[in-house]
Amino acid sequence: MRRINVVMKYYDNWDDWKYDIEIWFYNTFIVPVKKAYRYSKRLIRWIPFLWNNENWDFHYLIDVLEFKLQELEEAQRTDDLHVGSEKRAREIRIVLEHIKRYKDIDKYTLDNDTDEFLNNFYNEEIKEGEYKGCFHHKHRDEKLYKKHMRVIQHQDQLEDWHFKEIFKKLSRKGRDWWC
pLDDT tens for 54-64 read 777 778 889 88
Q: Looking at the domain assignment, is residue 24 inside a domain?
A: no
Q: What range defines the domain where residue 106 resides?
A: 53-174
Q: How far apart are CA 139 and CA 7, in angstroms?
A: 88
Q: How far apart are CA 117 and CA 104, in angstroms?
A: 20
Looking at the structure of the chain, the number of domains it has is 1
Question: pLDDT averaged over the chain?
Answer: 83
Q: Looking at the domain assignment, is residue 138 inside a domain?
A: yes
Rg of the chain over CA atoms, in angstroms? 30
The reported pLDDT for the residue numbered 99 is 96
| pLDDT band at residue 14 using 50, 70 and 90 as cut-offs | low
The pLDDT of residue 34 is above 80 = yes
Q: Looking at the domain assignment, is residue 86 inside a domain?
A: yes
Q: Looking at the domain assignment, is residue 97 inside a domain?
A: yes
Q: Looking at the domain assignment, is residue 89 inside a domain?
A: yes
- pLDDT (tens digit per residue) in 77-115: 998 888 888 999 999 999 999 999 999 888 877 666 666
Q: Looking at the domain assignment, is residue 37 inside a domain?
A: no
Q: pTM for this structure?
A: 0.69
| pLDDT band at residue 6 using 50, 70 and 90 as cut-offs | very low
Q: Looking at the domain assignment, is residue 120 inside a domain?
A: yes
Q: Looking at the domain assignment, is residue 72 inside a domain?
A: yes
The reported pLDDT for the residue numbered 13 is 66
The reported pLDDT for the residue numbered 48 is 85
